[in-house]
Amino acid sequence: MHKVKKVAISVGDLNGIGIELILKNHDIVSNMIEPVYIIDEEMLYQAYKLLDIDMPSNFRTASPNSKYFNIQSGEISKESGAYSFDSFKKAVELAQNNEVDAICTLPIHKKAWELSGISYKGHTDALRDFCNMDAIMMLGCPNLYVALFTEHIPLKNVPSALTFGKLEKFLLDFNSSAKPKNIVGVLGLNPHAGDGGVLGNEEEIITSAILGANEKIGNKIYNQTPLVPDIAFTPNVRKNYKYLIAMYHDQGLAPLKALYFDESINVSLNLPFIRTSVDHGTAFDKAYKKADISGASYINAIKYITDLK
C-alpha cells in the first residue's frame, strides 16, 4: 500500500495570501498528503475570522513558537516577517528530525524578513545555511523545469561568478539530486551563445564544465555545447528538454513565467529532504479581499512531493 507522506507546511507571511490558500485548499491537499500546518491556534483563529470562511476539519497544526501579532492585510511588517521565518524554521526542524517527509513553503516577503532582522534573502539562502549544503533553486512545472546557476545577485556580477569549478560542481549536484532521465539543456550566457567569441567568451567556461561533468558522470547528461538563450524556450527547442539550466535569474525565469506562471512551483534540490514552494509572491493586493486566488501552484507543489519515489 502506498505510504501517505507527512508534509510540514509553513504559512508564509500572514499579511498575504498564504493562509487563504491553505484554508481553501485543505480538503484537496489532505487527500494527497498528511499536512502539518506551522501556525499556532491563536493566529489561525484570527486569520480565518478575517477571511470569514469556515475552519476545515481535521486540521493539524504545530506551533512555531513565535509572537502573536495583529494581522494587517497587505502590509509589510517586521512582526509578520518574524512569524513567517519562525514558521519556516519550525518546518525545517521537523524535516531534519525526520518527523515529516518533506516541507512546502508558502510565500514570504523579503523586506518583512529584513525589517525583522533576518539576514537571509529568502528560503533558499536560509536552507543552505541550515543544512550546510549547496541548495539548488529550480522552478517550473511538469512541462518544463528551469534550474538557476546564479540567483539573487546583480546582473553585473554574473560573469565573475561563472567559473569552471563552480559550474561543474553545480552540474554534478543537479544530476545527483534531480536524477534526470533525458538530456538536460545548459544555456549560454551571452547573446547567440557568444557567436564563437564575437559576443563574449564565457561559453568556453560553460562548455568545459559540461564536458567535465559529463565525463565524471559517465554519461552525456548535458548538451555538449551551450544553447542559444533566445531560442531555448521556443516550442521547437523546449520540446526536447524537461530541464534547462539558466546562468542567471531573469534569463530562466522571465520566459518560464511567461509560459507557465500559474502552474509553476519552486523546488530546492541538493538537500537532505524535499522542499517545494509556490512560485509566486504574497499578493498583498489580494489578501483578505475575497479575491479570485488560484491554488494551482500550491497544489502542484504538493503533487511534486507525492510523485517522488
Q: Are residues 253 and 281 in the same domain?
A: no
Q: What is the DSSP string of 70-136?
A: ---TT---HHHHHHHHHHHHHHHHHHHTTSSSEEEE----HHHHHHTT---SSHHHHHHHHHTS--E
Show Cβ contacts of residue 279 under 8 Å, excluding neighbours closer than 6 positions.
139, 257, 261, 264, 265, 266, 297
Same domain? For 139 and 227 the reply is yes
Q: Which segment of 41-45, 127-131, 204-208, 291-295 scores lowest on mean pLDDT?
A: 291-295
| 92 and 182 together in one domain | no
Beta pairing, strands 102-105 & 274-278: parallel
In what order do the strands lie in the sheet containing 185-186?
34-38, 6-10, 102-105, 274-278, 265-269, 136-141, 144-148, 243-246, 185-186
Q: Are residues 25 and 117 in the same domain?
A: yes
Crossing angle for the helix pair 78-96 and 123-131, to the nearest 10 degrees: 40
Would you say residue 149 has pLDDT above 90? Answer: yes
Name the residue range of residue 106's domain. 1-133+272-309
How far apart are the C-alpha atoms of 285 and 16, rounded to whole Å? 8
Is residue 309 predicted with pLDDT exceeding 80?
no
Handedness of CA 251, 285, 21, 125 (dihedral sign): positive
Confidence of residue 2 (pLDDT cuts 50, 70, 90): low
Share of the chain above pLDDT 70, in %: 99
Decide if pLDDT at 1 tops 60. Answer: no
Are 126 and 187 in the same domain?
no
CATH of the domain at 22: 3.40.718.10
Reported as a single tens digit per residue, the pLDDT across 23-44 is: 999 999 999 999 999 999 999 9
23 & 108 share domain: yes
DSSP track, 219-260: S--B-SSPBPGGGTTSHHHHTT-SEEEESSHHHHHHHHHHHH
| Same domain flag for 218 and 305 | no
The mean predicted confidence, pLDDT, of the chain is 95
What's the CA dihedral at 126, 127, 131, 136 to 10 degrees?
-130
pLDDT digits (tens, 9 = 90+) for 212-233: 999 999 999 999 999 999 999 9
**DSSP secondary structure letter of residue 146:** E
Overall average pLDDT of the 155-182 stretch: 97
* Residues 142 and 119 both lie in one domain: no
Query: Is the same domain home to 143 and 206?
Result: yes
The verdict on 220 and 170 lying in the same domain is: yes
Share of the chain above pLDDT 90, in %: 92
Cell 564575437, residue?
Answer: 198
Structural domain count, the chain: 2
pLDDT interval class at 57 (50, 70, 90) = confident
Residue 146 sits in the same domain as residue 241: yes
State yes or no: pLDDT of 283 exceeds 50.
yes
Question: Is 265 in the same domain as 140?
Answer: yes
